[in-house]
Amino acid sequence: MTGRTTTARAGFWLTLLLGALILLNYVDRGALGIAAPKLEGDLNLTKLEFGLAISAFAWVYAPAQFAVGWLADRFCVYKLIAAGLALWSAATLLTGFAQGLAWLVAMRVLLGIGEGVAFPAASKIIARHVAPERRGIANGTLAAALAWGPALGTFAGGLLLQWSGWRAIFWSFGALTLIWLVPWLRASRPHWSERSERGDVVPVREVMRSPTPWLLGVGHFCNTYGFFFLLAWLPLYLVQSRGLSILQMTAMTTTVYLVQGAGALLWGVWSDARVRAGADEGVLRKGLMSFYQACMAAAIMGAALSTSTGALFGWLLLAGAVGGIGGSNCYAIAQMFSGPRAAGGLVGIMNGVGNTSGIVGPILTGWLIQAGGGDYHLAFYVSAAIAALGIVWWWAVVPPVARIDLAPGSFSNKPAVG
């Protein structure tokens, strides 16, 4: 068996397990939103307090991305992922014992620390093991998992919420997540000695001095704001403002996320086919990001203005159909800029800046809804406006995609030599 075949096979199995990791990541991350219709009343939370609890996740998740990116470039990334998952599964399980806002906030902070390892570490592994012509489907697999996590979480969580109460959601999800460690430790063990050699490490200060990861971070903020808005607030909105039952809410949101996951795989396959046919990968993936932002802006605005449940469902299906583009192409673009040597650090910066949307968004949304007497329209408009900004940002502000020179002393966007 050739080295190339061995690497390809390792990349295949590791990508599948990383997909499962991201799926569990979003099952657990979205659990609070699913539990909200009953949890909010049981714990006597206001809309602003619920937004505070949601945002607590990102208080540490966003800044932790910088540290995790540095760790992923220098230490055993496979062990790093295992440690992060163990921490976040414990935080999920313990959320089921919450008695008030303080406990919720504390567990969301721990969840943010644990889940912070996922994307920088996964990008490091994909950049190391996956060939460029398979970059779309590899990142598409993670983007599909990013959607199917909320689908599985909403479906299972909605049933648990209906029949067993909100605490059972966290106990069940936390225990399930731990099982993933068994196949991961088995599959990743042969690679535990793989880490950057000292002379091959890109100093984090060099990555931070390049403007590229910061520009990508702002684009990622526009990318994630709308997604997190729907992930956190959609169940509550459908039940409280649209009058859907918990089971109807569960069916609608699960369907949207299933469509998003299938779309992520299809967009990944299609984009890889275009690259193999000779399309410029950087132009293609930047164009896809702008197209995605335009569709998300339209879908969020359409959902806000829809007057029937059918129309609302149609706009949400549009958001699902294009959602996989945003979940995969931003990471593919970052991997193209960084290469395998600096993938952890560069993605860490992009994710750190981008996920500040998870700090700002929930608190702003909670305040807008509370100030509006329970009306969600202004929160939808703000989310749509931020998505629209991303159209221009990804196409016109993010520089042409090429491997950047991150050698010591160089912090330009010029392509690396060799």
**Whole-number Å distance between alpha carbons of 19 and 130:** 14
Phi/psi zone of residue 144: left (φ > 0), alpha (ψ -120 to 50 degrees), beta? alpha
Q: Has residue 409 been placed in a domain?
A: no
Query: Coil, strand or helix: which one is 415?
Result: strand
C-beta of residue 84 within 8 angstroms of C-beta of residue 33: no
Contact criterion met (CB below 8 Å) for 257 and 151: yes
Q: How far apart are CA 21 and CA 24, in angstroms?
A: 5
400 burial level (CB within 10 Å; 0-12, 13-18, 19+): exposed
pLDDT of residue 351: 82
> What pLDDT score was predicted for residue 407?
56
Alpha-carbon torsion 45, 50, 53, 56, what sign? negative
- Asked if residue 418 is part of any domain, the answer here is no
Cα separation, 129 vs 127, in Å, equals 6
Instruction: Give residue 124's domain range.
Output: 10-397
Q: Which residues, 6+ apart, have CB-to-CB distance to 9 below 8 Å?
A: none
Per DSSP, the three-state class of 390 is helix
> Nearest CA to 291 among 275, 308, 267?
267
Look-up of token digits 């000779």: 278
Quick check: is 230 in a domain?
yes
Asked whether residue 2 is domain-assigned, the answer is: no
Query: What does the alpha-carbon distance between residue 88 and residue 176 come to, in Å, rounded to a whole number?
Result: 12
Amino acid of residue 73: D
Residue 402 lies in a domain: no
In a domain, 415, yes or no: no
Q: Are 347 and 120 within 8 A, CB to CB?
A: yes
Terminal CA-to-CA distance of the chain, rounded, Å?
Answer: 28
Q: Do 253 and 235 form a contact (C-beta atoms < 8 A)?
A: yes
pLDDT at position 257, please?
A: 86
What does the block give as tokens for 27? 């099952």
Residue 414 located in a structural domain:
no
- CA atoms within 13 Å, Cβ hemisphere of 21: 33
Per-residue pLDDT of the chain (418 residues; tens, 9 = 90+): 444 445 556 667 788 889 889 889 888 888 888 888 889 888 988 888 888 888 888 788 878 877 777 777 777 888 889 999 999 999 999 999 999 999 999 999 999 899 888 878 887 888 777 777 777 788 778 878 877 887 888 888 888 998 999 999 999 999 999 999 999 988 888 878 765 444 456 666 777 788 888 999 999 999 999 888 887 788 888 988 888 888 888 888 889 888 988 888 889 889 889 988 889 989 999 999 999 999 999 999 999 999 899 999 999 999 999 988 987 788 889 888 877 667 777 888 898 898 888 888 888 988 898 888 888 999 999 999 999 999 999 999 999 988 776 654 444 444 443 3
Two tokens at 150?
Answer: 């909320």
- Any domain includes 417: no
**Which pLDDT belongs to residue 413?**
47
* pLDDT at residue number 378: 94
CB 406 within 8 A of CB 416: yes
Using only the alpha carbons of the chain, give its radius of gyration: 20
Supply the pLDDT for residue 388. Answer: 97
CA 134, 139, 140, 145 torsion-angle sign: positive
- Dihedral class, residue 202 (left if φ above 0, else alpha if ψ from -120 to 50, else beta): beta
- Angle (nearest 5°) at CA 333 between 331 and 336: 110
Return the ∠ at Cα 136 (arms to 359 and 146), rounded to 5°: 35
Query: What is the CATH number for 248?
Result: 1.20.1250.20
CB 254 within 8 A of CB 158: yes
What is the per-residue pLDDT for 14?
81
For residue 110, what pLDDT is reported?
A: 93
CA distance 188 to 191: 5
Domain count, the chain: 1
